[in-house]
Amino acid sequence: AQTVTQSQPEMSVQEAETVTLSCTYDTSENNYYLFWYKQPPSRQMILVIRQEAYKQQNATENRFSVNFQKAAKSFSLKISDSQLGDTAMYFCAFMKHGVNYGGSQGNLIFGKGTKLSVKP
């Protein structure tokens, strides 16, 4: 079974600074997908960034980037130029890849989350 671990329950950062959220996972799969989701107080999960395990290049989306270390099973999220609107819970998630979708229901396996506070 796959597990996702986020070791930082809470973090804070000053506005405009950079913060890195940690995520490790355990799987015996070779092909899979990794995601970071943001959950503001409205409760609606929003996809921040995603990474395919077979791609070595780290994904980037504007101020968000990841450091994907497949051998170490690590997938950290870096937020640059932090903004007050980045304040939220952040969840790391794993999705099994199914060849021709066989064996994968496409469900996400989540870590327990990191509560990020951006301070003015």
* Interface positions with other proteins (CB under 8 A): 33, 42-47, 50, 52, 91, 95, 97-98, 101, 104-113
Q: Which is nearer to other proteins, 102 or 120 (CB)?
A: 102
Distance CA 52, CA 21 (A): 19
Query: How crowded is residue 102: how many other Cβ atoms within 10 Å of its Cβ?
Result: 6
- DSSP string computed for 37-93: EEE-TT---EEEEEEETT--SPPEETTEEEEEETTTTEEEEEE-S--GGG-EEEEEE
What's the closest the beta carbon of residue 119 comes to other proteins, in angstroms?
25
Q: Compute the least distance from the CB of residue 98 to other proteins, in Å.
A: 7
Q: Pull the structure tokens for residue 99.
A: 């060849």
Q: Which is nearer to other proteins, 74 or 98 (CB)?
A: 98
CB of 96 to other proteins, least distance (A): 10
Nearer to other proteins, 75 or 82 (CB): 75
Spatial contact of 80 and 18, defined as CB atoms under 8 Å apart:
yes
* Least distance from other proteins to the Cβ atom of residue 15, Å: 27
Nearest residue (CB) to other proteins, 28 versus 44: 44
